[in-house]
Structure 1
Amino acid sequence: MGEKIKICSKCKQNKFISDFGVQNDRKSGRRSACKDCDAITQKKRRKENPDKYIKATRRWQLQNPDKVRNAKLIRTFGITLEQYNEMFNEQNGCCVICGKHQSELKLSLAVDHNHDGGNIRQLLCNHCNLILGLVQDNISLLEEFIKYVKKHKDI
């Protein structure tokens, strides 16, 4: 037996029940308009009253910081907050280059990644991550920096 069919209250098309959003207070357990029509309605409402939706979004973000952080980590680096926390714990909450603990820093430890392949490496403090980014992982340039600092160490 196949999936049930329902008629959308807006577009009047026959659609599979899975094409309708869940609404538990309805007899069918589904919304009366299909997901496509609901999306069009929501887009129109957001356009007509953007301030209302901006405020609601900001309020939700403040109430759900872990969900926001998780979404950003997935979007930016392809890792979850749980994976970030595992890395954090493996590094004892410290930058792997300078050794500063998270409690000494203003910003969270940054996810370092290889820009060529996008491979996640480890967590760095903002300063170490910035330096590494500025030298573009150029080892010979870093060696020149070391020579320079050693040369002028006693000045």
Structure 2
Amino acid sequence: MGSGEKAKRCVRCGEWKPYTAFARKRSNLDGLQRHCRDCASEYHRARQQTLGRKVRPKVEVPEGYKLCLKCGEIKPHSEWHRNATASDGLSTRCKTCRAAEGRAGHLKRHYGLTEAERDEMVASQMGLCPICLAAPAVHVDHCHKTGRVRGVLCFNCNSGLGLLRDNPEAMNRAADYLEGNAWKPTLVAPGVYQLPS
């Protein structure tokens, strides 16, 4: 403790510790808990064990690092999102784990698929987009009317279907256009067009 820093004696371990080692409690005269944070943590852990609950093992983590509860790795603070409501100001899961959970949650919410089901679809397509047969299949394609999943496409083919509004007639006209047979109606009378056969 530095000189001039206020200290308090913990009622559990009996040690004199700085005020920062104690959690707040407004109802006490000094505004702090009677026991230090370390003793409170040990007491809570022992109580949870006696109640038969699962208690995480305590892990020593160097300053500037944090343990991810999801992957079990100790990572620097730069690998964490901020969380103003948390006691240390950081999220409970690292950025990598949050991203993986976000992708899995997106698949489940929007398409009703798990990652394993999506990977099985990609494997059945031999990893390729079934439309262009060139690019890897990475984007889930679905019918916008029914919500039914049709397959996994590359970004360009999935975008193309969406931009043509999943309309088979528009896609047939696009195929005809690419083959050189452009759809050109003939003006028969004012406001009356004859469609090509």
TM class, shorter-length: 0.5 to 0.7
Mapping for residues 1-150 of structure 1, pairs under 5 Å: 26=48, 27-30=50-53, 48=85, 52-53=89-90, 56=91, 60-63=94-97, 66-102=100-136, 109-150=138-179
* CA distance in structure 1 between the partners assigned to 2:162 and 2:135 by the alignment: 21
Asked if the contact 1:61–1:68 (Cα under 8 Å) also holds between the matched residues in 2, the reply is no
Normalized per residue, the structure richer in helix is: 1
Report what 2:5 is aligned to.
none
Q: Percent identity?
A: 31
Question: What RMSD, in angstroms, separates the aligned Cα atoms of the two structures?
Answer: 3.2
Deviations 1:80-127 (A, max 9, x none): 00101110111110001001242xxxxx61111111110011110000
| AA in 2 matched with 1:52 | G
Asked if the contact 1:73–1:79 (Cα under 8 Å) also holds between the matched residues in 2, the reply is yes
TM-score by length of 1: 0.58
Asked if the contact 1:113–1:122 (Cα under 8 Å) also holds between the matched residues in 2, the reply is yes
Q: CA offset at residue 66 of structure 1?
A: 4.1
Q: CA offset at residue 68 of structure 1?
A: 3.5
TM-score by length of 2: 0.47
Q: CA offset at residue 77 of structure 1?
A: 1.1
Deviations 1:2-43 (A, max 9, x none): xxxxxxxxxxxxxxxxxxxxx975121359xxxxxxxxxxxx
User: Which runs of no fewer than 5 residues in structure 1 stay unpaired?
Assistant: 1-22, 32-45, 103-107
* CA distance in structure 1 between the partners assigned to 2:118 and 2:132 by the alignment: 19
Q: CA offset at residue 64 of structure 1?
A: 5.9
